[in-house]
Amino acid sequence: MTKKVPAKRPASKILSKKTIKKPVPKKLDPKAQTIESLLELIRVTSTEIPDDVAKTLMKARSQEEQNTTASYAMNIIKDNIDLAKFKSQPLCQDTGTVIFFVYHPPGFFQNAFKELIKKAVVKATQKGYLRQNSVNSLTGENAGTNLGEGHPSIHFYEHNKKEVEIKLVLKGGGCENVSTQYSLPDTTLGAGRDLEGVRKVVIDAVYKAQGKGCGPGALGVCIGGDRADSAYNAKKQLLRKLDDKNTLPDLAKLEKEIVETCNKLGIGPMGFGGKTTLISCKMTHANRVPASFFVSISYMCWAFRRQGVVLDKKNTIKTWLY
C-alpha cells in the first residue's frame, strides 16, 4: 500500500545556548557536588550537539539540494538535534564508549576522582542519559551500569592551572567500526611514507566507510606513533573545535584539502549520495620508529558528542568548554 503524502517538518532553531540546564537545588558535600557536576556534563554531552558542530552541520544541510534523500537525511538530523535537546534525551541511542579526559593541577587524587566518575556514570545510566552499553568481552554479560574492565575510559593529564577541567566524548560504535589504521607504504593505494601518502590513505578510509559511520563524518587523524598511541592521538583530535586552525601549516593545508576532496566523492549524508561526506578533518603527528609508519583515523559520526567543563572550588560547573 503506497500513497503520496506531503512532507512536513516542524520549524525550530538549534543554535540557542544550553537553556534547560537544571539548577542544583540544595547544598551538597564536595563529593556529591562533583558527582552532580559530572552527571550534568554527561547529560549535556549525550543530549546536545556542541555549537561548533551544530553550525557546521547546518551549513552542510543548507548546501544539499532540496527534495533529495540527502536533504531528507539532513532535515531529520536537524529535527533530531532540536528534539534531543528539548527533551533532554540522548541524541543517539548508541551512547557509545564513555571517554573522559581529566586535566588537573598537581597533587590531585586521581583514584578518588575515578570513583566519582564511576558513580556519575551509573547515575547517568539510571537516568537514561546513557544506554546500558558496556559488555564483558569474555562472557557477553551486560552489567547494566556502564562499568566494567576499561569502562568508562578515563585519561588524566596534569596541567598548570588551578582548576580541574573535564572533557567527555561519547564515541559511537558504528563510526568506531569504520575507524581504521594504515601502515605506510601501502602498495595497493600507491601511498608512500610522506604527506601525499597520508592524504591517500585518509581519503581511502572515507571511501571505505561509505555511509556506515553515520556521515557526514568528522575525522581525527594521527600520523605516526606506535599502533596504540597513534589510535589514541587520532581520537584526541576530536577534542579540537571544528573551526580552529592547525598551528602546523602543512597539516592545516592537508586538513582542508582532505575535506574538500572527500566531499567530491559524492557519498553524502548516510551514504545516500550528496554533497557533504565530511564536515571536518583534524590532524596531529607523533614520532615513530624508523621501521613503522602508521596513520590512524578516528571517524566520528554526525552525532558528534563532546563537551567539557571547568569546575570551580566548590566543584560546581564554572564554564562550558564547547
Partner 1 sequence: MKQLTYPFSPEAVRELKVGDMVLITGKLFTGRDAVHKYLHDGNKSPVNLKNQIIYHCGPVTMKDKKTGKWTVTAAGPTTSIREEPYQWEVIRDHGIVGVIGKGGMGQKTLDACKEYGCVYLHAIGGAAQVLAEKIKSVDGLYLEEFGLPEAIWELTVEDFPVVVTMDAHGNSLHKEVENSSKEILKTVL
DSSP 23: P
Q: Is 205 in the site for partner 1 (CB under 8 A)?
A: no
With beta carbons less than 8 A apart as the criterion, state whether 305 and 170 touch: yes
Cell representation of residue 256: 582542508
Tell me the angle at which helices 249-262 and 195-209 cross, rounded to the nearest 10 degrees: 30
Cell representation of residue 75: 532535515
* β 305-311/294-300 pair status: unpaired
Over the window 73 to 102, marking each residue x when it contacts ligand SF4 by CB under 6 A and - when it does not, the resulting string is: -------------------x-x-x------
For residue 255, the surrounding DSSP H or E stretch is helix 249-262
- Residue 96 contacts which entry, ligand SF4, partner 1, none (Cβ below 5-8 A, type-dependent): ligand SF4
Q: Is 213 in the site for ligand SF4 (CB under 6 A)?
A: yes
With beta carbons less than 8 A apart as the criterion, state whether 226 and 288 touch: yes
Tell me the angle at which helices 69-87 and 51-63 cross, rounded to the nearest 10 degrees: 150
Minimum CB separation of residue 124 from ligand SF4 in Å reads 16
For residue 170, the surrounding DSSP H or E stretch is strand 164-171
Interface region with ligand SF4, contact rule CB under 6 A, candidates 27-35, 47-55, 170-178, 195-203: 170-178
**Can you say how many angstroms the Cα of residue 159 is from the centroid of all Cα atoms in its chain?**
23
Q: Using the Cα atoms of residue 184, residue 185, residue 189 and residue 194 in order, give the sign of their dihedral.
A: positive
Q: Which of residues 108-167 bind partner 1 (CB under 8 A)?
A: 128, 131-133, 142, 144
Which listed residue (41, 58, 92, 168) binds partner 1 by CB under 8 A?
92
Q: 208-237: b or e for each residue (b if 16 or more CB lie within 10 Å)?
A: ebebbbbbbbbbbbbbbbeeebbbbbbbbb
Q: Is 174 in the site for ligand SF4 (CB under 6 A)?
A: yes
**Can you say how many angstroms the Cα of residue 9 is from the centroid of all Cα atoms in its chain?**
27
- Residue 289 contacts which entry, ligand SF4, partner 1, none (Cβ below 5-8 A, type-dependent): none
Which listed residue (32, 147, 189, 286) binds partner 1 by CB under 8 A?
189
d(C-alpha 224, C-alpha 252), whole Å:
17
Which listed residue (81, 214, 218, 219) binds ligand SF4 by CB under 6 A?
214
Which listed residue (50, 172, 220, 268) binds ligand SF4 by CB under 6 A?
172
Tell me which residue has its CB nearest to ligand SF4. Answer: 172
Which listed residue (30, 144, 173, 266) binds ligand SF4 by CB under 6 A?
173
Minimum CB separation of residue 114 from partner 1 in Å reads 25
Q: Is 212 in the site for partner 1 (CB under 8 A)?
A: yes
Cα end-to-end span (Å), the chain: 47
Q: Which of residues 10-39 bind partner 1 (CB under 8 A)?
A: none
Interface region with ligand SF4, contact rule CB under 6 A, candidates 9-17, 18-26, 28-36, 172-180: 172-180
| # chain residues binding ligand SF4, by CB under 6 A | 11
With beta carbons less than 8 A apart as the criterion, state whether 170 and 98 touch: yes
What residues make contact with partner 1 under the rule CB under 8 A? 1-7, 69, 72-73, 76-77, 79-80, 83-84, 87, 89-95, 128, 131-133, 142, 144, 172-174, 177, 189-190, 200, 203-204, 207, 210-212, 214, 261, 264-268, 270-273, 301-303
What residues make contact with ligand SF4 under the rule CB under 6 A? 92, 94, 96, 172-175, 213-214, 301, 303
